[in-house]
Structure 1
Amino acid sequence: MRNGSIHRKTKETAIRVAVALDGTGSYQVATGIGFLDHMIEQLSRHSLIDITLEVQGDLHVDQHHTVEDSAIAIGEAVSQALGDRRGITRYGHAYAPMDETLTRAAIDISGRPFLVWKSGFSQPRLGEMDTELFEHWFHSFASAAGITLHVETLYGQNNHHIAESAFKALARALRQAVEIDPRKADAIPSTKGTLGGG
């Protein structure tokens, strides 16, 4: 199995994360932010990437460092698990409907981190989580994982549905992109011969 694990400790957070790309979507997530836990659990379940994540953050200050650093650690663990990216499909895309909401995500595991975010919220919080931090989570994840990521909510009204459909679309696109292509399992999917990482 393609596994990655990161131990990350700063003055703001202490994080342990382990991922298995060829998993079953099992998870153990504890960030101290209930809604963020729920979203990362969705990411695991729908990508079939096993994720174990424990975060101790400075939530007495605010949620920013916990949200940012959890995304960085998961992204770094995914990048580590991908190694030299040999044999992967590389590209993935998905639409995730959730009742009145529809979000799409497209991924290129390119080694060139970039986020295009076209989504938004009409309220400042979901549960105890600041909604402005969702874009920051996706940006931090894309940067640490070395992926180009486009996320767009095409329409939707319920803020919970908008957030959840974004994570589910990411999950399904990621599942597709990290899969081993049986026709090119021994090749790095780039004419340059490298996709960074590893």
Structure 2
Amino acid sequence: MTVLQAVIEKNQQELNDRLQSSILNILSLMFGLGLLGVLLAHYTIKRIRRGIEFFSDHIQKSSARMNLINHDDVTYQEFDDLAKVFNEKTEKINTLLHQDDLTGLFNRRFVDAQLQALLSSPVSDQQSLALILFDIDHFKRINDEYGHLVGDDALCEIAKCIQSQTRKQDFVGRFGGEEILVALLDTSNDEAFALVERIRQ
């Protein structure tokens, strides 16, 4: 064997060794990337499953209470978009369920539920609750003399007047045909009487 052949064989052996080493490195890298991909997929699926379970649980609870979804509790943009649509629909449903069609005040169903919640919750010595029930005098005469459309307009104006005098923490609802109930939270007797007289005038 000549010197040249020995050098060629040596170089071939080195190339083969390098090639095998490169193949092993590539296979190791591919295995590592594959394992990383499986772990990422598992993590992503877990988060997606958690998001779906969150929505499912919230929808089941909201069938009774109609609560909105907090955007901070949602992962992924797609779930956030879904939460926005859900909240819009929930607000519309809440409006239909709780609002009086004519006056825009809370309806009797909502008033009853709120009163039950307020009266059944424990009250501390510092808290107070004033309930005011307005009944519009001679309302039947307005309907009889001017028609029901004028009566409806009068009722809406009175509702606006009452609501404009209350605070955000209070609630105003239509209790009956021409009866409007106001619940005033943390209000003294004197403050409640002053409000009643102001609205009456």
Tell whether the structures are fold-level matches, with TM greater than 0.5. no
Q: Which has the higher strand share?
A: 1
Q: State the TM-score bracket (shorter-chain normalisation).
A: under 0.3
TM-score by length of 2: 0.26
Q: Which has the higher helix share?
A: 2
Based on CA coordinates, which of the two structures has the bigger radius of gyration? 2
RCO (CA 8 Å, sep 6+): is it higher in 1 or 2? Answer: 1
